[in-house]
């Protein structure tokens, strides 16, 4: 499932043409991809032109946390730690961070994004003006979720 956040608001039905238009216009946006499928991998490879090694990291979970620099973007792997009864769960997140956009990819739903989505929906123009601020908000949501497990 793809969810797009931009100054125009959010959209849960995101096609390739919309993403290409945003990339061409240099408008700031956040694209969140949950449970990626072959079409999503094609979007990451063909539309965004992300390095194949990062695509492999997204496809094959259980990566180590990292931050790697590529031409025009950084790629990060971060984890949320959560408790489910006595079990400790790890949710892996992949982030593509660029001056104009943020792309996040994860398998299971990320509950902390629900509140973040509401916050962005309240004021998309003020929140979606810089990808660095969007990255901060996403990282803040991920880190804050971990505190309950500590």
Q: What is the pLDDT of residues 88-103, one digit of tens each?
A: 888 899 999 999 999 9
Q: What is 2-147's CATH number, 3.40.50.920, 3.30.1960.10, 3.30.460.20, 3.50.50.60?
A: 3.30.460.20
> What does pTM read for this prediction?
0.90
> Which residues of the chain are under the pLDDT cut of 50?
none
Enter the tokens of residue 32: 């969140």
Question: What's the pLDDT score for residue 11?
Answer: 74
Residues 6+ apart with CB under 8 A from 142: 78, 80, 93, 110, 112
Phi, psi of 58 (to 5 degrees): -65, -40
39-64: per-residue pLDDT in tens?
999 999 999 999 999 999 999 988 89
CA atoms of 70 and 52, how far apart (whole Å): 11
What 8-state DSSP symbol labels residue 37?
-
CA angle 85, 65, 29 (to 5 degrees): 95
Residues 6+ apart with CB under 8 A from 126: none
CA atoms of 61 and 58, how far apart (whole Å): 6
């Amino acid at each position: 499932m793809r969810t797009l956040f931009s100054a125009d608001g959010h959209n849960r039905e995101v096609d390739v043409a919309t993403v290409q238009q945003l990339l061409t216009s240099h408008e700031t946006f956040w694209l969140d991809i949950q449970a990626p499928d072959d079409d999503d991998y094609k979007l990451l490879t063909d539309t965004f032109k992300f390095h194949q090694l990062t695509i492999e990291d997204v496809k094959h979970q259980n990566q180590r946390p990292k931050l790697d620099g590529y031409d025009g973007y950084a790629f990060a792997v971060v984890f949320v730690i959560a408790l489910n009864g006595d079990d400790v769960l790890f949710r892996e997140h992949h982030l593509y961070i660029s001056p104009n956009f943020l792309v996040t990819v994860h398998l299971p739903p990320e509950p902390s994004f629900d509140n973040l989505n509401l916050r962005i929906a309240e004021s998309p123009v003020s929140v979606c003006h810089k990808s660095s601020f969007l990255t901060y908000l996403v990282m803040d949501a991920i880190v804050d979720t971990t505190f309950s497990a500590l």
